[in-house]
Amino acid sequence: MDDKKRSVEEFEKLLTIMDKLRAVCPWDMKQTYESLRKLTIEETYELADAIFSKNDDGIRNELGDIMLHLVFYAKIGSEKGSFTMTDVLKGINEKLVYRHPHVFGDVSVSGASEVEENWEKLKIRENNGYKPVLSGVPSSMPAIVKANRIQEKVRGVGFDWEKPEQIWDKVIEEINELKNEIRDQDAKRIESELGDVMFSIINASRLYGIDPEAALEKTNRKFIKRFNYLEKETLTKGISLHDMSLDEMNVIWEEAKKLDPPAPLNHQPPIPPKGGLKSNT
């Protein structure tokens, strides 16, 4: 039996298991869309962690958990008479075929960017000629991910910089505006301009092919690793961080930085970071 047939068998088994859980298990019987929502978000983050860690076993396990949630929602939908798993699968199959005319039709594309542009045009056509370009961005999506997705979507209709390097003038402009508001001490305008700076940096990340969420997470983990080293070294020497000056901590911080593996030879960041603890990276 080939893998596709085995997959179908296992999927059918999962559907049967869900039927029994909803009929017998007290916990499963009381679940609703709303009660599952936060658990689904948690499972999605656990999958994201496994992907970030390049943990194939973890990815496999978390995909199973998410698959369970998909089946759970479909089961509740069928009980409500709203939709079934068949409806879910039929809907996504039809959508994929329709939105990939370069695969299932006679349309030609020059590359991935044109595929994305066609995708957005087809989505508009699906809604009788009009659907707001940004209507598909979930309001509850984390801000960094949402900003990146917004920028990707507007790029699909041609609203983008012609050349990546043009973004840096915008970044500098937003930083200068932030500095002006900081000088004037207007908290609300500082918040607004800081948001603009962050949005422009995320835009720069996209233009240079960098996932801003992944980039920030790598920096988070790098900072945690270095700070843990700083804390461990001070404890070993019988010193409290509270009793140390920033310059004293920075000496150990520089030691921690030397323990990190060197960056690849072809690594050329658009803006080189400044060193030491004072830069936080």
Question: Which one has a higher pLDDT value, 261 or 149?
Answer: 149
Q: What is the pLDDT of residue 57?
A: 96
Tell me what the pLDDT averaged over the chain comes to: 87
Nearest Cα neighbor of 116 from 137, 131, 102, 135 is: 102
Whether 212 shows a pLDDT value over 90: the answer reads yes
Q: What is the pLDDT of residue 253?
A: 92
Share of the chain above pLDDT 70, in %: 89
Tokens linked to 187:
């908290």
Nearest Cα neighbor of 117 from 155, 160, 148, 147 is: 155
Q: What is the pLDDT of residue 155?
A: 87
Split at pLDDT 50, 70, 90, the class of 124 is low
Q: What is the pLDDT of residue 206?
A: 93
Q: Is 259 left (phi over 0), alpha (psi -120 to 50) or beta?
A: alpha
Distance CA(86)–CA(34), nearest Å, equals 22
Whether 123 shows a pLDDT value over 60: the answer reads yes
Q: What is the CA radius of gyration of the chain?
A: 25
Q: What is the pLDDT of residue 270?
A: 46
Average pLDDT of the residues in 32-53: 92
Domains of the chain in start order, with CATH, are: 3-89 (1.10.287.1080), 99-131 (no CATH), 143-207 (1.10.287.1080), 218-279 (no CATH)
Question: Rounded to the nearest 10 degrees, how much is the dihedral formed by the CA atoms of 224, 227, 228, 231?
Answer: -160
Under DSSP, the state recorded for 237 is T
Q: What is the pTM of this model?
A: 0.64
Average pLDDT of the residues in 141-146: 90
User: What are the two backbone dihedrals, phi and then psi, of residue 107, each rounded to the nearest 5 degrees?
Assistant: -80, 140
Alpha-carbon torsion (204, 174, 216, 46), positive or negative: negative
Please write the tens of the pLDDT for every residue from 7-29. Answer: 999 999 999 999 999 999 999 99
Question: Which one has a higher pLDDT value, 49 or 127?
Answer: 49
Q: What is the pLDDT of residue 139?
A: 85
Amino acid in the structure at residue 93 = N
Percentages helix, strand, coil for the chain (3-state, rounded to 5) are 70, 0, 30
Contact 77, 69 (CB under 8 A): no
Split at pLDDT 50, 70, 90, the class of 256 is very high
